[in-house]
Each structure stands twice: as C-alpha cells, then as structure tokens.
Amino acid sequence: MFMSVDEKAATWFTKEFAINKTFFIRMFPQYAGFGIKHKGFSLAFSAESPGHVGYSYEINGITFFVEVNDVWFFEDTEVTLTIDENLDEILVRYQELTTLAVN
C-alpha cells in the first residue's frame, strides 16, 4: 500500500471539514456505489481520531489514516488523492503496485 495526497487535496479537506488545526482523516471502504477498486465498495472519509492504525500519511498537519481492519481495501495499491479542477471535488486514483522479482 502506498498513498499520496497533493497540496490541493489537503487544502480541500481543510475547507470541506472546516478545521484549521491539526486533524485526522480516516479513509475506509463503504459498502455503496460502484467502486473502481472493489465492486460494491467506494472510498469514504471521516474526520476522527485513529484507533488501530494500519497505515498513515501526513501532509500540512493532516494525518490521513487507514485502520488495521480496512487495510484489505488498499492492499497492493497506490492511492492518490488530488482535485478534479472542473468539479472542485476529490479525485481518487488507484494504481496496482507491482512487485519486482530479484534474481
């Protein structure tokens, strides 16, 4: 699992959640919609404190995290959060990570 969040996306979260201090964003699978990564699941966000962190990424005072029991959704994947400039909404991209064989 690898995660990247660009500056514009971090600013979007600060505005969307109306928080101007250090905070946490939980990323988790939600059973709804037409998910790209896992059929029937979409990525959801919540401003909450971490419990049992399986992965985290910090940018501009925001810690994005995935709880241990949600890591399955992100396995073998690079998740990139950016902004769709036309809609001014979060754009999530998934790219499968490939492992290199060493001989």
Q: How many helices (H) and strands (E) does the chain have?
A: 1, 7
Q: pLDDT digits over 51-89, tens only?
A: 999 999 999 899 999 999 999 988 888 899 999 999 999
pTM of the model: 0.83
What kind and span of H or E run contains 13? helix 7-16
pLDDT in tens, 23-47: 999 999 988 765 555 566 888 999 9
Burial class (CB in 10 A: 0-12, 13-18, 19+), 39: exposed
Using alpha carbons, select from 8, 6, 60, 49 the residue that is nearest to residue 26: 49
